[in-house]
Amino acid sequence: MVKGLWSLLLGFVLLMANVACASEQVRQVYSRFISLEQNQAHISSTALAQDHAGQIWLGTQHGLYRLNGSEVTLFRADATDPDSLSADWISSLLVDQQGTLWIGTRYAGVNKFNPSSESFSRVPLPATINNGSSEISVLYQDPKRKLWVGSYGAGLFLLDPQQLSLTAQTLPAHVDGVSSIHINDLLMTTDGVLYLASGDAPLRTLSGTGGGLIAWDPEQNSARGWHKVKNGQAAGSINRLYLKSPQHLMLASFSGGLLQLDLSSGELSIPVQPTTLRQAQLTDMLKDEAGGLWLGSYNAGLWYQQDRGSDWLQFQHQGQFSGGLPGNSIYALMLDKQGTVWTVNQLRVAGISRFARHIRTLPTATDQPQLLPASDILGIDVVNGSTVWLANRQGGLLKFDPQQAQLEAIPMPDGNPDFSARQVRWAPQLDLVWTGSELGLWQFKPKTQEWQPVPLLSDTQTQPVIKSLYLDREQQLWVGTRGHGVFIVSADGQQITPLNRYSTPGLPVDDINLVYQDSFGLIWIGSADQGLFIYDQQNGRLQQWQQKDASQHGLQFNGIQLVVEENEHLWIHAGNLRHRVLRSENTPAQIEGFKPYLTAADDDAELRSAQLFRLLYRQHFLPEQKSYLNLDERLGVQSVTWIGSWAEHQGWLFRGGKEGLDFYQIDQLPQQWPLNSLKLTSLSLFNQIVPPARAETQSLLPVVLSALDQLTLDYQQDMFSLHFSVPEFVQPEKLRYRYQLNGFDRDWIQASQPVATYTRLPPGSYVWQAEASMGDGPWQTQTSLAIEVLPPWWMTWWFRTALVALVLFSSFSWYQQKMKRQLEMRRQLELQVSLRTEELSQKTSQLQEKHQALRRSYQDITLLQQISREITASLDLKQVLTRCHSHLSHMLDAHVLLIGIYRETEHKLDFAFWMENNQLAPRFDVDLAQANTPAVICFNSQREIIIREAAEFLIHLPEIPRPLYGAMTKSVLYFPLTVSGKAVGVFSVQSLEDNAYSDSQIELLRTLASYVAISVANADSFEQLQLTQQQLITQEKMAGLGSLVAGVAHEINTPLGICVTASSHLQAELDTVQQAVDQKVLQQSQFQRFLQHLREGLKILQVNTGRAADLVQSFKKVSVDQSNVSLREFNLATYLQDVLLTLKPQLHKAGCVLDAQCEPNLVLYTDPGAIAQIITNLVMNALIHGVKDRPDPRIQLSFIQEGRTLLMKFSDNGKGLDQRALQHLFEPFYTTNRNNGGTGLGAHIVYNLVTVSLKGHIEVQSEPEQGLHYKITFPVRRDS
């Protein structure tokens, strides 16, 4: 009795638990799916499996595909190859617990994949079975590792993996009305009972008859069938079985919905489930790593229940959401090792990654009221878990309930069809929604559904575009605009205060991206391109942080995208770069700068703990890998998000962007991303893939590369590639590889593609290894392979041994023969040795003599080169002579050394410098008309005179000449000096001894004469140039002085002429008075008039004679100063008047105005003549070359004392000079007016006077038609 009560109570509890765990609630949700884009492998897909290495096997109607992450391999049936698949139509796949892949086909039995040879072993159906009507629908391995094969049309089989045979199991064709030969799925419970799912399935149909569930006990050979549920309703076709608990078996019905079998009572029922799920044609069912249940349906998409009792989530295809579920017709499901749930349909294989499973998306669909009417979400504000306000641009203001997935569109303000919502902020105190739009700021009151515009600009109807809204702790609304700065709306909404360029304090930017208040109450204002501002509203202080060339504060960009405070740190996102605000330790409210995170080396614990900040720009930290993972569409997050479009509420992150709204729980994101094993996939030889385990490649690759212990290559196989990969199907583009061949590669080689190629490896043993990582994370997986490169036959040990033996034998034989020959040759050699010895000694002596001669020649040539370099580099004839004599005296007897220079005007040879007995001798010259001297003969005939002894003088002269100085020389050499065919003189070397010079020395002197000719010509030209230059300078000075005299004479002529006229007039008046006196008719009035004329005439004489005297005195001073160099102290202003007075005639003649400015008490101690000559030359150059023919010629001259230095500025408004002429201005003889008599020495003289006489510096600037401007500085007091 008690036991019965307990059983009844237990059953009631289980029933209640089952009811409580069920749910009728269903929510339509959207997430991003990824495609298994591997060529066209997903077309007509039928089955999917993943092996232990992580490779995905895809069965299709046209073959079997293997996807390893980098390569796609297709296996097809080949009637001529027994090791190929038995059929192309793959109907089922199984990777058993041992890792073996079993393939079920349509009408061709089962195949086993042999991974070592990449071949297939065929397991046909028993001969009694009609293959043409039997499809292998399911492959199953029970807990005891037995392999069961379920077919569609032939019943159940047991597979023997050793014998590769199938044994048919004896079952009635129908068990309680359920077909046992049309099997869709198999499952064995712990008590050894095997359950068979039977009935219709995609691409397989029984027209709805015979579907249901069979329980068969293989040990007892007893079976039971369920054709109906407990309420009498037909169970229908069952496609998949799932053991929910030890007491409950879940059935996925192709006829509609979920069924549940109570294993203890044997009761088949319909559990509580949504009506839409009950109507869904379920095709597959699986449980994920977190215990969640996934259902695939043929007509209603994908279903998911996180745990028993929670709401069902339904993923359906939405045509306008390209990133969502690609279709509602799902044939099969598979959960891979990385947590991706893959769905299979006829056209596409798509999966939802482990990250995307936790991320929900609110996409755009213009025809669905529960989805966004427009794509862009620009603003978000979360009120609570069930109310989220969204600014949807053209979609306007939206109210979203994320818990129920319900969306409410708020009607647009009346009369504003172009209303575009950009920002939104809920104001709880005012019970309204602040909405920023393209048309300014608005208030929306949810209770009354009323819109109210809030004008920010009172003087215009056009309102600014709102870019950001922020509600601070005092409930003040901060409005960031485009083009008008910031507006502050008071908590009651009645007062608006601008913060812009014209406010106090002034905000110097107009375009505002965001506003944020930190924990210290400071307002952070981020601009679009002018940096970051911190506003302290209490004291009205505004501080700016802006990136400039010299800024050191750490902010790298001026475009501010995000400001957020997390973990007591303030974070900045600017220019897509992360920054952390650095605060003062003593005064945290004070900002010291920013830390930019430029490279991986800048990573720190603060950034790793700032989860919200990182996720706002899609960066997730993986603690186990200690690396960052950048989230994107393949991980469920859109990659284009908008500034300010985010909100966080109780651990949920809402992020808006170009593709709608993403929202998820932050702590639910996976904390790791494990990689599958790195595996060698194939070998290429000379860029051709080597198939494994083939007859032609048996010696090289007897098995697949990954199963090979060592790869052995002969020397001719000197170009090979190793292909490897990590099976990564979610984000393969983020994989990094590196590999190294130990014994060959010194360092790891980084690679973006999983292939390593080597050419011409030296023979030897190597170990190749490779590693892989995700992004910048640590290297997680590796593989290795031993490689042996065989040497060619001529480098093998046996060949080398045989070769050594052969060489030794040959050497011994050769040695014996050689000894015999040597005995015979020794006798002959001994006879010849004595003869050869004597001959060699003679040749040795000859060679020594030649060697000495060559050595002397080399020394002579070296000395000649040195002499030529020295004398041609000198312009001093005396120095040329002494250097020649110094060097020649070391190699020959140069008792006398002469150089005669031809003076063309005097028609004579000038021996200005010559040496005898190491002493300079007196200068002399020889008239070329005297034909009885060797020098004249040599020069006139332009031929060498070579006299080896005194008697040979008579060959050239009628008698032996007597020496001009010293003793009689006996060896005399004369060489004519010519340059470019022009005779310039003669060169002579003489000795007191007979035959003092050998032929080689004569040849040396002959060569030296050519260098001496060049040196003599250069030195003479330089000397003549100096004389000419000095004469021209003297002529220039005299010309200037003559011009000065002419001007002064002109000036003196005027007052003297007036004096002559006045004296003549007085003489006439005197004669008149004298006549009146003589005639005694002189009247008093006449005498008075005479006295008046006398006084006026005397005054005229006095003034004009004084003026003439002043002119003479000034001329005397200036002329004397210009003729002599003397230092004296003088008043510059007074002296300047004297100088300018002498220039007045030339200025007057040219019609030029000279404006001179000088301090009146400026006293100098320097050379006044230099100053006078500088001013004179500058003025005359300006009059002649500059202002001539100008309409209003002007010259400005000024003197300014700057400390101990005097600055003189001279400018004219003449025609100026171009840059080329300006560069040559101070060069001697350079002139632009040579045709009119210009010498080109005026500016050169000025330059020398400034730099030498005044010890100063001169600069000049000019442009064409802009005049010439001199700037001269020199000491006020020059040192003596």
Q: Compute how many other C-beta atoms are within 10 angstroms of the C-beta atom of residue 646.
A: 22
pLDDT of 870 strictly over 70: no
> How would DSSP label each residue in 585-612?
SS-TTSEEEEEE--SGGG--HHHHH-HH
How far apart, in whole angstroms, are the C-alpha atoms of residue 551 and residue 594? 11
> How would DSSP label each residue in 440-477?
EEEEEETTTTEEEEE-S-TT-SPPPEEEEEEE-TT-PE
How far apart, in whole angstroms, are the C-alpha atoms of residue 190 and residue 181? 24
How far apart, in whole angstroms, are the C-alpha atoms of residue 559 and residue 572? 10
pLDDT number for residue 1120: 42
Q: Where are the beta strands (DSSP E) in 715-780?
A: 719-725, 735-742, 749-751, 755-759, 764-774
Q: Write out the H or E segment, with its range, that includes residue 613.
A: helix 611-616
How far apart, in whole angstroms, are the C-alpha atoms of residue 200 and residue 204? 6
**Identical fold between 459-566+568-609 and 1124-1280:** no
Q: Exposed, middle or buried by CB within 10 Å (0-12, 13-18, 19+), for 835?
A: exposed
How far apart, in whole angstroms, are the C-alpha atoms of residue 359 and residue 351? 14
The alpha carbon dihedral of 88, 92, 93, 98 has a sign of negative
Mean pLDDT throughout 222-236? 90
How far apart, in whole angstroms, are the C-alpha atoms of residue 219 and residue 839? 119
Are 373 and 394 within 8 A, CB to CB? Answer: yes
pLDDT number for residue 1050: 55
Query: Which residues sit opposite 653 in a β-bridge?
Result: 648, 664
How far apart, in whole angstroms, are the C-alpha atoms of residue 550 and residue 559? 18
How far apart, in whole angstroms, are the C-alpha atoms of residue 330 and residue 317? 11
Pairing of strands 710-713, 781-789: parallel
Task: Using alpha carbons, list the distances in angstroms from residue 383 to 447, 649, 802, 872, 1204.
Answer: 15, 8, 93, 98, 80
Greatest Cα pair distance, the chain, in angstroms, is 196
pLDDT number for residue 1042: 56
pLDDT tens digits, 1009-1034? 777 777 777 777 666 666 666 665 55
- Strand order of the sheet with strand 45-50? 45-50, 56-60, 63-67, 72-75
Tokens linked to 62: 């046209």
- Give me the amino acid identity at 773: S
Tokens linked to 259: 């069924």
* Share in percent of the chain as helix, strand, coil (round to 5): 25, 35, 40
Are 75 and 84 within 8 A, CB to CB? Answer: yes
SS3 of 175, please? strand
Quickly state the pLDDT bin for 958 (edges 50, 70, 90).
Answer: confident
SS3 of 672, please? coil
What percent of the chain stands above pLDDT 90?
A: 52
How far apart, in whole angstroms, are the C-alpha atoms of residue 670 and residue 621? 10
Measured in degrees and rounded to the nearest 5, phi and psi for residue 1175 equal: -65, -45
Are 863 and 891 within 8 A, CB to CB? Answer: yes
pLDDT tens digits, 631-681? 999 999 999 999 999 999 999 999 999 999 999 999 999 998 888 999 999
pLDDT number for residue 778: 86
Q: Mind spelling out the 3-state secondary structure of 262-327?
A: ECCCCEEECCCCCHHHHCCCEEEEEECCCCCEEEEECCCCEEEECCCCCCEEEECCCCCCCCCCCC
How far apart, in whole angstroms, are the C-alpha atoms of residue 64 and residue 1102? 133
Are 551 and 593 within 8 A, CB to CB? Answer: no
Are 139 and 156 within 8 A, CB to CB? Answer: no
How far apart, in whole angstroms, are the C-alpha atoms of residue 127 and residue 134? 12
pLDDT tens digits, 681-734? 999 999 999 988 887 777 788 898 888 999 999 988 889 999 999 999 998 888
How far apart, in whole angstroms, are the C-alpha atoms of residue 334 and residue 326? 16
Task: Using alpha carbons, list the distances in angstroms from residue 776 to 371, 601, 871.
Answer: 37, 11, 72
Tokens linked to 70: 């980098």
What percent of the chain stands above pLDDT 70?
A: 89
DSSP state of 600: G
Pairing of strands 312-315, 26-29: parallel
Domain ranges of the chain: 170-271, 459-566+568-609, 679-795, 797-873, 877-1013, 1124-1280
Mean pLDDT throughout 464-491? 96
How far apart, in whole angstroms, are the C-alpha atoms of residue 407 and residue 903? 115
Q: How confident is the prediction for the chain on average, in pLDDT?
A: 86
How far apart, in whole angstroms, are the C-alpha atoms of residue 780 and residue 774? 8
Quickly state the pLDDT bin for 518 (edges 50, 70, 90).
Answer: very high
Tokens linked to 556: 């790298």
Quickly state the pLDDT bin for 2 (edges 50, 70, 90).
Answer: very low
Between 3.40.50.300, 3.30.230.10, 2.60.40.10, 3.40.50.970, what CATH number should domain 679-795 receive? Answer: 2.60.40.10
How far apart, in whole angstroms, are the C-alpha atoms of residue 321 and residue 1260? 76
If one looks up domain 459-566+568-609 in CATH, what number appears?
Answer: 2.130.10.10
How far apart, in whole angstroms, are the C-alpha atoms of residue 907 and residue 976? 16
Mean pLDDT throughout 965-986? 84
Alpha-helical (H) ranges within 1151-1235 are: 1168-1181, 1219-1223
- Give me the amino acid identity at 527: S
pLDDT number for residue 18: 43
pLDDT number for residue 346: 80
Q: Compute how many other C-beta atoms are within 10 angstroms of the C-beta atom of residue 556.
A: 17
pLDDT number for residue 16: 40
DSSP state of 506: -
DSSP state of 615: H
The region that residue 14 occupies, defined by phi over 0 for left and psi between -120 and 50 for alpha, beta otherwise, is alpha
pLDDT of 14 strictly over 50: no
Q: Exposed, middle or buried by CB within 10 Å (0-12, 13-18, 19+), for 1130?
A: middle
How far apart, in whole angstroms, are the C-alpha atoms of residue 1175 and residue 1242? 11
pLDDT of 1081 strictly over 60: yes
Q: Write out the H or E segment, with its range, that includes residue 832.
A: helix 797-872
Give 541's Cβ-side CA count (13 Å radius). 7
pLDDT tens digits, 791-832? 988 877 788 888 899 899 888 888 888 888 888 888 888 888
pTM, entire model: 0.64
Q: What's the residue count for the chain?
A: 1280
pLDDT number for residue 649: 95
What top-level class would CATH report for the domain 877-1013? Answer: alpha beta
Q: Which of 750, 745, 747, 756 is nearest to 735 (CA)?
A: 750
If one looks up domain 1124-1280 in CATH, what number appears?
Answer: 3.30.565.10
Q: Which of 988, 987, 953, 993 is nearest to 970 (CA)?
A: 993
pLDDT of 622 strictly over 60: yes
Tokens linked to 645: 């479009």
Q: Is the omega angle on the peptide bond into residue 692 within 30 degrees of 0, that is, cis?
A: no
DSSP state of 1040: H
| 27 contacts: CB under 8 Å, gap ≥ 6 | 311, 312, 313, 314, 404, 405
Task: Using alpha carbons, list the distances in angstroms from residue 608 to 626, 671, 734, 939.
Answer: 9, 13, 20, 98
pLDDT tens digits, 103-131? 999 989 999 999 999 999 999 999 888 76
Tokens linked to 940: 């006139």
> How would DSSP label each residue in 684-733?
EETTEE--TT-GGGTTT-SS-GGG-SEEEE-TT--EEEEEEE----S-GG
Mean pLDDT throughout 521-546? 94
Give 142's Cβ-side CA count (13 Å radius). 20
pLDDT tens digits, 84-108? 999 999 999 999 999 999 999 998 9
pLDDT of 204 strictly over 90: no
Measured in degrees and rounded to the nearest 5, phi and psi for residue 1110 equal: -60, -40
pLDDT number for residue 9: 40
pLDDT of 923 strictly over 50: yes
Q: Compute how many other C-beta atoms are within 10 angstroms of the C-beta atom of residue 1112.
A: 13
| Chain-centroid distance, C-alpha 146 | 61
